[in-house]
Amino acid sequence: MKTSDFYYELPQELIAQDPLEDRSASRLMHLDKETGELEHTDFKHIVDYLKPGDCLVINDTKVIPARLYGHKKDTGAVIEILLLKRRENDVWECLVKPGKKARPGAEIVFGDGILQGKILEIAEEGNRLIQFFYEGIFEEILDRLGEMPLPPYITHKLKDRDRYQTVYAKHEGSAAAPTAGLHFTRELLEQVEAMGVKIAHVTLHVGLGTFRPVKVDDVEKHHMHSEFYVVEEDQAKLINDTHKNGGRVISVGTTSCRTLESAAQEDGTVRAGSGWTDIFIYPGYRFRVIDGLITNFHLPESTLLMLVSALAGKEHILHAYEEAVRQRYRFFSFGDAMMIE
């Protein structure tokens, strides 16, 4: 299986640069994973594809303002840092630009010195381990100095921080938003619950691996970055009871999907717990938990495109994407949505 098997032609102007004013006003493509049949509607009509007894699984991670700009203490050279994951207390694994100037021992000053960092060592993939020094609460300082870490394909400035956050975001720790959830408003979620659909929460802190291109030709040789996830006992029960009672488990986003499949046992039940997952789902994978998926349109040759192809079949997906391009759907993080069931 080649990475190039997952290529499709995407005009640059279809990459959504700004979120819509109304979250649920985005378009929705419905894909029947068995037949490949497509339907077109608006996201607010997602309720038409849900049934009483179903369970929607959402990822309640919260994006931190993880992008920081500072300068080297000795030379004044500008340094950009993206916090990837907390290793311990005030030590973070970070992506640093330009990397050449970020050698172990270098000291970086942010925001007139209210936050300082020292590069401890070079980690895998050229990332840096940085220890931060400050007075007060780190999260509050980050809130003052940091910017939302928008994906590299979004070049517009984000006017409202909350628009790169789901309405149910709760647990801080992500370097990227679980974007399928951006389409839901509180009102729409209330409508979903009122019709007898349960909503289960899981947490997966999204790392930079989401945006990393697949650099190998052979799909199976690609290695995913690990991400931290949590499935609480009561939420695992809610999901497992749904299947026991004949309902469907619909994952909101690939991050919820990867969490559920990571926590799945052989018999398809979800085990409560927490840990790190580097699960890589591509065609040939046997799904143990999810019956359907709500997701955005993904980058060509990406691991996320491979995941949806595993669920619906590569031919069905690539045909759906061709149709999305033809019908001028909006792509990627701030773009339109697809439901696969």
Q: What is the pLDDT along the chain (341 residues), one digit of tens a residue?
A: 999 999 999 999 999 999 999 999 999 999 999 999 999 999 999 999 999 999 999 999 999 999 999 999 989 999 999 998 888 889 999 999 998 878 999 999 999 899 999 999 998 788 999 999 999 999 999 999 999 989 889 999 898 999 999 999 999 999 899 999 999 999 999 999 999 999 999 999 998 776 678 899 999 999 888 899 999 999 999 999 999 999 999 999 999 999 999 999 999 999 999 999 999 999 999 999 999 999 999 999 999 999 999 999 999 999 999 999 999 999 999 999 999 99
Q: What's the confidence (pLDDT) of residue 85?
A: 86
Contacts of residue 125, defined as CB under 8 A and 6 or more positions apart, other chains included, come to: none
Q: State residue 273's pLDDT score.
A: 97
Phi-psi region of 33 (alpha: psi -120 to 50; beta: other; left: phi over 0): alpha
| Residue 21 neighbours by CB under 8 Å, 6+ apart | none
pLDDT score at 107: 95
Closest to 174 measured CA to CA, from 310, 304, 90, 61: 61
Residue 79 DSSP SS3: strand
Residue 213's pLDDT is: 82
User: Do residues 276 and 209 lie in contact, with contact meaning Cβ atoms separated by under 8 Å?
Assistant: no
User: What burial class does residue 296 get, using C-beta atoms within 10 Å of its C-beta: 0-12 exposed, 13-18 middle, 19+ buried?
Assistant: buried
What pLDDT sits at residue 210?
66
Please tell me the predicted confidence (pLDDT) of residue 322: 98
Q: In this structure, which amino acid lies at residue 123?
A: A
Per-residue pLDDT at 211: 64
pTM above 0.95, yes or no: no
CB 235 within 8 A of CB 89: no
